[in-house]
Amino acid sequence: MNVGFIGLGTMGAHIARNAIAGGHALKVHDLRREAAAPHIEAGATWADSVAAVADGVDVVLLSLPGPREFEAVTLGDGGLVHAMRPGQAVFDLTTNSPTVVRRAAAELASKGIQLLDAPVSGGPDGARTAKMAIWVGGDQATYDRFEPVLRSVSDQPRYIGPVGAGSIAKLVHNLSGYILQTALAETFTMGVKAGVEPEALWEAVRQGAVGRRRVFDTMSRQFLPGRFDPPDFALELARKDVALACEVGREFEVPMRLAHLTLQEMTEAMNRGWARRDSRTAMLLQEERAGVEVRIARDAIDAILKGD
């Protein structure tokens, strides 16, 4: 397939090389022509401008730093909206704003061009080895048409919904990871300052219940099916554990902002009379505040887990 590729940075450079290795004819562009040298050596052709990338290709892949660069490439002077023809498509691999993506998709659609948001997850190693996820939002027929291109650069491309859905999934994933990262910084500084050697602490906890599970798989027991009775682990016992950890933090003068926020959430749930319900009742409080219910049927959860 004839593929245009814009953005040969840390991620894009690897993804573009894999597209070439997958047998696709690649036309590449970047702000730095020297970034394209390995790709040209591997058989790609150079395009002097964004508009030139669109000429003669079936699809254009974008791998850009963020929304500002994406808007310039798609909607700016000399952008793709002015250069592409009806029937062509754009897959945006950027971690992007869903609002910006939807606006650009509407403008391109008015010209007969499909834009799908397709952020990737796997880091530089995943981009290099093609062992990474791509989460795609947009027109499903267009996804199906160009899935072979995506499969040449990813072992886990997945269509997940309308335009913007891919960007939302990526932000959910990344924010979850960064919140967890902040929590681990808090808990490990507490543990080490309280007297446990870092190596011994890490070696111990990684074999505990949390360490042995895939983070998102833990949602399948209570959060997603909405099963909080009978409890796997009662809220009153979990709150006791968090309160004890907060006491250690105070004793050793370790700031524990996330721990105290968690304790506050658990206390509110206890005040609702949920002491003997499952400790994951944080989901019930947040659903109430957000005005949305997060639920998946048990048979659908089992099918997803079985498919891994």
> Residue range 23-39: average pLDDT?
97
Q: Please check the confidence at residue 212 and state whether its pLDDT lies above 90.
A: no
The CATH code belonging to domain 213-307 is 1.10.1040.10
> What's the CATH number for 2-169?
3.40.50.720
Closest CA to 115 of 150, 84, 90: 90
Q: What pLDDT is stored for residue 176 in this prediction? A: 96
User: What's the pLDDT at 104?
Assistant: 98
**Which phi and psi angles does 121 have, rounded to 5°?**
-140, 125
Question: Of all residues in the chain, what percent carry a pLDDT higher than 90?
Answer: 96
> Measured between alpha carbons, how far is 48 from 50 in angstroms, rounded to an integer?
7
In angstroms, the CA 239 to CA 222 distance is: 17
> Which amino acid would we find at residue 231?
P
**Left if phi > 0, otherwise alpha if psi is -120 to 50, otherwise beta: which for 128?**
alpha
pLDDT higher than threshold 90 for residue 307: no
pLDDT value at residue 112: 97
Question: Residues 89-108: what's their mean pLDDT?
Answer: 98
Q: Which two tokens stand for residue 259?
A: 């721990």
- Banded pLDDT at 116 (limits 50, 70, 90): very high
Tell me the three-class secondary structure of the chain, residue by residue.
CEEEEECCCHHHHHHHHHHHHCCCEEEEECCCHHHHHHHHHCCCEECCCHHHHHCCCCEEEECCCCHHHHHHHHHCCCCHHHHCCCCCEEEECCCCCHHHHHHHHHHHHCCCCEEEECCEECHHHHHHHCCCEEEEECCHHHHHHHHHHHHCCCCEEEEEECCCHHHHHHHHHHHHHHHHHHHHHHHHHHHHHCCCCHHHHHHHHCCCCCCCCCHHHHHHCCCCCCCCCCCCCEHHHHHHHHHHHHHHHHHCCCCCHHHHHHHHHHHHHHHCCCCCCECCCHHHHHHHHHCCCCCCCHHHHHHHHHHC
Chain segment 11-22, per-residue pLDDT in tens = 999 999 999 999
| Model confidence pLDDT, tens digit, residues 44-64 | 999 999 999 999 999 999 999
Q: Does the pLDDT at position 308 exceed 80?
A: no
**Average pLDDT value for residue range 229-237:** 95
Distances (CA, A) of 238 to 233, 275, 282: 7, 9, 12
Domain ranges of the chain: 2-169, 213-307
Structure confidence by residue, pLDDT tens digits, 166-184: 999 999 999 999 999 999 9
- If you average pLDDT over every residue of the chain, what do you get? 96
Better pLDDT: 103 or 307: 103
Compute φ and ψ for 28, nearest 5 degrees.
-120, 155
- Is residue 29 over pLDDT 90? yes
| Segment 250-258 mean pLDDT | 97
Give the catalytic positions in this structure: 170
Instruction: Say if residue 164's pLDDT is above 90.
Output: yes
